[in-house]
Each structure stands twice: as structure tokens, then as C-alpha cells.
């Protein structure tokens, strides 16, 4: 297992880009803005660039977002103990200015809550949110790409085929450290399956839940790039 962790450290650090990591410097400025449970309640938020994180119910979205903003000891986003309980789009600002520099959005988990309960809200958000820049799809690596993941990825692919939307989408494979050495070699097959399901998806990112968490710097860099920023300062 120690050898596996060493390999992961090397691989994930090599994948990280050398960009200024300003998320850690602005953890105190991260704040909750709004929760939207209906189309009419989606806030405008001054047109700041947004990224949204989606995934299977209890896929670890809140955990990842807290790690991204460096709030693991005093979490800003809270996970529900009941799968599929989150049914709102939750908006959080990041950055030193009064309104922040960008907005992170925690989306309802799919697969457990019926589409009728939140699908219309999220689909409207994807189709009409002009400041949305990227959709991140969290996939639990040990579980692989499930049926609900596949359906969601295919939906995103169909939406982006039009070429008229302002956002791109990218998968984040989480908990890669829970794979055995033999399974780590199978990640190439996951990439192939991802490309087959969603040809327009950007190359995936990988994160590990070990301490210190790995791959988070790459996710931060990806968020900044998607929002057209090089720093939050």
C-alpha cells in the first residue's frame, strides 16, 4: 500500500500545473450566497463566472469543494447523512472582493432523487445560465462509471453538441488511492469508457482522499482556467 501511495503522489503531482495557488489565501472570504430550489429563485450574482459540481448522491461533492477552498477543518459545505437529501443548487462565492471572483455551485446528487424533483431546475440552469463556465462530474473511482453517471454524461454531451452553450464539462475521478496497484492500471479503461459515453468531455482529473489530499491543486487550476482567471487576487 505504501508503494501504491508513492506512485499516486508522483502521478498526481506531475499532473498538477504550476499555477499560483490562491485558493488557500482566501478561505476566509469563501461564503454561502444562496440556495435555489426553483427556477425563479436562481440568483443573478453579478454575472461572476461559475463552475458547478455534480455527481451521484453522496458522491463526495461537499468534501471535494471544502478541500478545494481549503476548508477541511471548518467546512463551509456540509454533507447530508441521508443520500439524495440535497435538492437545491447551493451557491458559494470565492475571492477577496465584495462579491468574490468566482462562484462554486453544489448541485443536487443524481441517481437517488427522482428527476421530477430537481431535473427541471438543473436542466434549466445548464441551458440558460450564461455565466456558467464548467460542469464537473464527480465519479467514485472504485465504483466506476455507474448507470446514472453514464446517463448524466450522455446528457451533457448532447447539450454541448449544439456548440451554443458557454460551458465545457470534465469528469473528476475521486478516491483513486482506494484502488489496488492492479486496479490503478485499469484507469485507462475508465478513460476509454468516458470518451465513448461523452466524446466532448475534457480529459478527466484524478483526486485521492489520503492526507495530504492529492489532485486538489489540479482541480483548483482547472477551475481558474475555466473561469478565465490566473489567480483570485
SS3 91: strand
pLDDT > 70 fraction of the chain, expressed in percent and rounded? 77
Average pLDDT over residues 122-126: 93
**What domains does the chain contain, in order, with CATH numbers?**
2-226 (3.40.50.300)
Whether the per-residue pLDDT at 56 is higher than 80: the answer is yes
- Under the banding of pLDDT at 50, 70 and 90, the label for residue 212 is low
Average pLDDT over residues 199-216: 87
Whether the per-residue pLDDT at 87 is higher than 80: the answer is no
Q: Rounded CA gap, 146 and 56, in Å?
A: 9
The neighbouring-strand residues paired with 137 are 54, 171
Whether the per-residue pLDDT at 4 is higher than 70: the answer is no
The pLDDT of residue 19: 46
For 168, other C-beta atoms within 10 Å of its C-beta total 15
Instruction: Encode 191-225: b = buried (16+ Cβ within 10 Å), e = exposed.
Output: eeebeebbeebeebbbbbbbeebbbbbbbbbbbbe
Whether the per-residue pLDDT at 84 is higher than 50: the answer is no
Q: What is the mean pLDDT of the chain?
A: 82
Amino acid at each position: 500500500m505504501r508503494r501504491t501511495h508513492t506512485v499516486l503522489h508522483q502521478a498526481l503531482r506531475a499532473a498538477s500545473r504550476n499555477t499560483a495557488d490562491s485558493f488557500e489565501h482566501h478561505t476566509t472570504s469563501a461564503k454561502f450566497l444562496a440556495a435555489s430550489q426553483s427556477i425563479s429563485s436562481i440568483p443573478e450574482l453579478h454575472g461572476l463566472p461559475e463552475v458547478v459540481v455534480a455527481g451521484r448522491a453522496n458522491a463526495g461533492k461537499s468534501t471535494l469543494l471544502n478541500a478545494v477552498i481549503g476548508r477541511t477543518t471548518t467546512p463551509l459545505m456540509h454533507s447530508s447523512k441521508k443520500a439524495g437529501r440535497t435538492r437545491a443548487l447551493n451557491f458559494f462565492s470565492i475571492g477577496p472582493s465584495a462579491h468574490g471572483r468566482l462562484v462554486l455551485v453544489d448541485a443536487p446528487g443524481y441517481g437517488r432523487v427522482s428527476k421530477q424533483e430537481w431535473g427541471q431546475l438543473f436542466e434549466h440552469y445548464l441551458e440558460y445560465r450564461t455565466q456558467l463556465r464548467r460542469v464537473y462530474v464527480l465519479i467514485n473511482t472504485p465504483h466506476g462509471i455507474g448507470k446514472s453517471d453514464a446517463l448524466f454524461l450522455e446528457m451533457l454531451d448532447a447539450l454541448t453538441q449544439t456548440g451554443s452553450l458557454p460551458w465545457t464539462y470534465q469528469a473528476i475521478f475521486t478516491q483513486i488511492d482506494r484502488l489496488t496497484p492492479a486496479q490503478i492500471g485499469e484507469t485507462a479503461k475508465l478513460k476509454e469508457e468516458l470518451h465513448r459515453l461523452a466524446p466532448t468531455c475534457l480529459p478527466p482529473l484524478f483526486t485521492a482522499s489520503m492526507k495530504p489530499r492529492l489532485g486538489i491543486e489540479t482541480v483548483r487550476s482547472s477551475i481558474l482556467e475555466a473561469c478565465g482567471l490566473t489567480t483570485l487576487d
